[in-house]
Chains A and B, each alone.
Chain A
Amino acid sequence: MTLTIKYFGVIAEITQCHEEVLEFTKSSIDDLLSLLFDKYPKIKTKDFQVAMHNEIVSRDAVVSTHEIALLPPFAGG
């Protein structure tokens, strides 16, 4: 399926974009991250969480929506 991946903060600095569209044929968040780590090896060294449907999900979750976000540590307030 076609996914839109959103990047924020230090992650967006590495990817040099705030979002991108890519074709995804596998199943889990882990599978997706392997793809992204191949493309942007530096992401692997950063602390981040993954969100789907506006909720933080674990890395073995199955991709079930078209928008996935990579969220570095929060700094609100």
Chain B
Amino acid sequence: MTDKKPKNVFKEGPISSEFIGNSIYKHQTKTSIGAHNIFLGQVRADVIDNKTVAAIEYTAYEDMANQKFHEIREAAFEKFELTCMHIYHSLGMVKAGEICLFVFVSSPRRKVVFEALEYVVEAIKADVPVFGKEIFEDETHQWKVNS
């Protein structure tokens, strides 16, 4: 069930709830699945030195990032009994409260999807060259670092 070639994981702008809902809908025909698990990364309006984050502008080293997403995907299929997996990450501006990362894993059984989802999300945070410019309400900015 794995793809051989890296796919493009990136989408311009925020990931809409319609898109997410539609992804769930599309899986209703895959009736070997008994459990889905979904992670949604949302841009947080952090307050730093009395300034509030209004949006994050995402950029990436896209070639390497898509390669890394592909490797994470392959490793996850190897480690866990998954029926399918989808990853989408935003590029460009995503406002506070909007979704910037959508990870969707599916399996016949529930225990697998909890472990698999955590594995995939942590690997994305650690290994994928995506950069985030946190833009404050007063239009100044700082560069985000994953903790």
A residues with a Cβ closer than 8 A to B are 6, 8-10, 51, 54-55, 69, 71-77
Are B124 and A76 neighbours in the complex by a CB distance under 8 Å?
A: yes
User: Chain B: interface residue count, which band?
Assistant: 20 to 34
Total CB contacts across the A-B interface at under 8 A: 69
| CB atoms of B128 and A74 under 8 A apart | yes
On whether A76 and B101 interact (CB within 8 A), knowing A8-B129, A8-B131, A9-B59, the answer reads yes
Report the separation of the CA atoms of residues A77 and B89 in the bound assembly, to the nearest whole angstrom: 7
Q: How far, in angstroms, from A69 to B64 measured CA to CA in the complex?
A: 10
Are the C-beta atoms of B126 and A74 separated by less than 8 Å? yes
Q: Give the contact stretch, choosing among B18-26, B73-81, B105-113, B138-146.
A: B138-146
Chain B 44-77 near chain A by CB (<8 Å), digits 1 or 0: 0000000000001011110111011000000000
